[in-house]
Amino acid sequence: MRLRRTLIFVPGVTPERIAKAAASRADGVVLDLEDAVAPPQKGQAREWVVAALRRVDFGARERIVRVNPLDTPTGLADLAAVAPLGPDALLLPKVRGPADVEGADAAVSRLEGDSGLAAGSIQLHLIVETVSAVLTVRRLAAASPRVAGLFFGAGDFVRETGGRLVATRVAELHAMSELLLAARAAGVDAIDTPYFDLGSAAGLETHTRFAADLGYDGKAVIHPSQIDVVNSCFTPSPAAVTEALRILEAYEAAEAEGRGALTVAGRFVDAVHVDMARSLLTRARLAGVA
């Protein structure tokens, strides 16, 4: 299991920011060759991302490269340049259907073989940002064993639906729920869309809590100032860790006595609550808070 609470996007044209992101408290760094890079700068960005993968120490952080769509010459050039360097994952934008994922899987497999990399070592994350992608998201998630995460792209999705991005996130809820269910069915992570108002820490927390309460695993961020807020929302609190430990201790004692259900601090507890407590403690240990 890998923590993906906070994944920070860094434009490939900003090598100084790549180095800072690699030393940040984010769980992963997305080296962006797509939307954050103007067309005339695509080639230079690719060179800088290649240099970063070769030389920058990312520690335990996941190294993800967002390539351009693979049905374009630019996307194919991105793939040919970065895949042989063995990033942890590629982030695929503008995914329309399972055929896009299957094609990417096949292309990555060829490059792994040509480069001497272990088969299947490069994972895929998919950006679900169109109506078509939302409607086929369950098939997308199951299209390749390389798929490790589904990213929700609210901006493009709401542009297509004609809705509005509002604080309640009502226009996003159905798509977010579809993505989450597909992720859970496939056993992959669900990652929330970025929050673009850099001046509102309170807004960021509200936006993030919505996704965390829904069941998401993490969130994309676009600035280092957002990392601590988002990490906090997706990290079990001390109180939650204490409660989970109490539930497990009580359940194990009851199990030893042949009882399958019990109450803890006046609350009914059964196997479902125990599974949730164990999952929470796993995340807490990975985050270093248990």
* Tens of pLDDT, residues 248-282: 988 888 878 777 667 887 788 888 888 999 999 99
The DSSP output letter for 163 is -
Nearest-5° angle of CA 222, CA 57, CA 191?
Answer: 35
Task: Give mean pLDDT in consecutive 10-residue pieces for the chain, a chain of 290 residues.
Answer: 96 95 97 95 97 97 97 97 98 94 97 96 97 96 98 96 95 98 98 96 97 98 97 95 92 79 79 90 92
Q: Is 226 exposed, middle or buried (0-12, 13-18, 19+ CB in 10 A)?
A: buried
pLDDT of residue 84: 97
Tally Cβ neighbours within 10 Å of residue 34.
24
Q: How far is CA 187 from CA 75, 148, 181, 216, 289, in A?
A: 27, 8, 10, 12, 24
Q: Where in the chain is the domain with CATH 3.20.20.60?
A: 6-233
Given the structure tokens 């923590």, which residue do they identify? 3
For 66, the enclosing helix (H) or strand (E) is strand 62-66
Instruction: Kindly report the CATH number that applies to the domain delimited by 6-233.
Output: 3.20.20.60
pLDDT of residue 258: 77
pTM of structure: 0.92
Encoded tokens for 26: 């984010």
Given the structure tokens 């994350």, which residue do they identify? 125
pLDDT of residue 290: 84
Tally Cβ neighbours within 10 Å of residue 105.
18
Q: In terms of residues, how long is the chain?
A: 290
Q: How far is CA 70 from CA 44, 97, 107, in A?
A: 18, 13, 10
Reference 90, options 121, 60, 47, 136; nearest CA is 121
Cα end-to-end span (Å), the chain: 16
